[in-house]
Structure 1
Amino acid sequence: MCAGVRDGKIQAQARTQSSIAVSTDKVHWVLVNASPDIRTQINTLHHYLQPARTLRDSGISAVLLADSQIDHTTGLLILRESKQPLELYCTDRVYEDLTTGFPVLTMLSHYCGVNRHSLMLDGSALKIPKLDHLNITPVPLHSKAPPYSPHRHQPSAGDNLGFWFEDTQTGGKLFYAPGLGEIEPHLQPYFAKANAVLVDGTCWTDDEMSRRQVGHKLAREMGHLPQSGKGGMIEWLANFPKTRKILIHINNTNPILEDTSVERAELTQAGIEVSWDGMLLEL
């Protein structure tokens, strides 16, 4: 897929790694996951995220982490020159990973540092200063901690999260789940009530890595539910005809990235969108 894009042999556009920013006023933003491509992503949305009110200014008021995976945390290092400590929200399990197996937060202590806030998993909503009218509820998801985690083989509710966002002023509701290993009963209300869901689109088939000859692990082994097949994401999303459905966190092996592929056509027929860089949702 990457070679096809570079050579112009397939109709597709390059994409950066999974990360979103959420705001209620388009001035103050919470960054949800800090990808290795964060610099490019900030530059793409510089009119929002680089307000230039002072030297080294930033529109990012806080960072919220869904997990401790490399593709969601490496970007923290790019933010190291912040004028004040990063306001960081994560679970205790993620904090442990990022101070042991992948000690990004320890490294940041030599730069801007972090002001860490622990995420509770009791179903209660949290509020982030400057993000007025925004309630954020962490939702535990079944998945796996990364290979460098000290509890890789002892999964816990704090390893991987989705987030329920609700703007109490506009009534807009969003569910974000970049890593989703299986469909659990407690997720149904979030999908049903959301105006839009941004959900894991990593692989088309469970054996995609081996089909593409780039690996041997199954999608489900890596903590990702494939789109196709019985019990897959397409089948699940069909239960929510009124919800806008958008796939994110798409691996470069996934044929849905090609605009003219039969797989993309199947998604379109099912009313499912494929995200793209710079996509802006107003709810």
Structure 2
Amino acid sequence: MRITILGSAAGGGFPQWNCNCRNCAGLRAGTLRAKPRTQSSIFVRPDAGDDGVLFNASPDILEQIRSQRALQPARALRDSAIAGVVLIDAQIDHATGLFMLRERTAPLPLWCTDPVAQDLSQGNPVLRVLSHYCGVARQTIPIDGSPFELPGLPELSFRALALSGKAAPYSPHREHPVAGDNIGVTIRDRKSGKSLFYAPGLGAVTPPVFDAMAQADAVMVDGTFWSDDEMLRLGVGSKRAHEIGHLPQSGAGGMIEWLNRLPAGTRRMLIHINNTNPILDEDSAERATLARAGIEPCEDAMTLQL
């Protein structure tokens, strides 16, 4: 299968429109060696054929489609390679882009958990709004580990795992999590047997999560914050990383420690990188720490073949 990183940043992108932290200001001024990033999303397709699965629809989806020819194969007057959309959660930066797909000529095939569908029908009624346009053909993602697949893509299989994390801030279960608010997904190519574990929002690595990571050929996991107090220390937020559902990379029990425990051949990648994270600075000590550990920060337009 072929995996394209459409966007690799957390909500707001990089640089964030209203932020003048060291990273954002340095990128704008050209004094920081870093690459701009749009909000996180990936596109996965089999080795044969044009159609694939969009994981998360970020507010930057139109820009991402324009920059990636693979998503617009131009086989007909109205066309798209997006055979279906899988939502990891109901966060604004992962679901608002659904509005931009409203010109479809048929209902949008959408896979999400029941809690996510509830949030996108009530607190942020994206699905109800789309019913006035193309409509939505929604399917439930099982979170008991049962495999599922998307019609027209029999080469790929998927398994979802409920994660420790936070529902969207507008959700009634923001402070009272329910299983399915956030998921990680193992994507397997049936022909090659290779797999990717994808979890852009991850609050804790539980034994089932680590097992899924250890069994995958590549992992693409939460890279939001370097440190737990990052937002507090920089004066751009009032909560710690773990309070908003993200496991930081550094510190005891951080993401780096967990990634270092994986089998030697596992490809390790970080996605959903916040604009404040020092790993965006390619000359930083934190970036060098990742390099020594064999961990890659995702970049927009990066491709991976498994």
The TM-score with structure 2 as length reference comes to 0.91
Q: Answer yes or no: is 1:125 the counterpart of 2:147.
A: yes
In structure 1, the partner of 2:232 is 210
- Report matched runs for 1:1-283 at 5 Å: 1-24=23-46, 25-46=48-69, 48-240=70-262, 241-283=264-306
Letter in 1 for 2:287: R
CA distance in 1, matches of 2:42, 2:173: 27
State the 1:172 CA deviation.
1.3
Q: Using CA pairs under 8 Å that are at least 6 residues apart, name the structure with larger relative contact order, 1 or 2.
A: 2
Q: Which consecutive segments of 4 or more residues in structure 1 shift more than 2 A?
A: none
State the distance in 2 between where 1:119 and 1:134 align. 15
What amino acid maps onto 1:60 in structure 2? Answer: I
Deviation at residue 171 of structure 1 after TM alignment: 1.2
Gaps of 5+ in 1: none
Aligned-pair Cα RMSD in Å: 0.9
Superposed displacement of residue 26, structure 1: 4.6
SS of the residue aligned with 2:85? strand
CA distance in 2, matches of 1:7, 1:53: 41
Aligned mates of 1:26, 1:281 — CA distance in 2: 16
Kindly provide the amino acid, as one letter, of the partner of residue 140 in structure 2: S
State TM-score, norm by structure 1: 0.98
Q: Which amino acid aligns with 1:94?
A: V
Letter in 2 for 1:36: P
In structure 2, give the amino acid aligned to 1:11.
R
Give the structure 1 partner of residue 11 of structure 2.
Answer: none
- Counterpart of 2:136, as a letter, is V
Q: Following the alignment from structure 1 to structure 2, what is the Cα–Cα distance between the partners of residues 193 and 144? A: 25
Q: Residue by residue, what CA displacement relative to the aligned partner does 1:6-60 show, whole Å, maximum 9, x if unpaired?
A: 11010001001110011113511110000111111111212x1101111221000
Identity of aligned residues (%): 56
| Distance of 2:174 and 2:214 partners within structure 1 | 32
Structure 2 gap ranges (5+):
1-22
- Per-residue deviation, 1:127: 1.0
Quick one: distance in 2 between partners of 1:166 and 1:145?
26
| Counterpart amino acid of residue 56 in structure 2 | N
Give, in angstroms, the shift of residue 247 of structure 1. 0.3
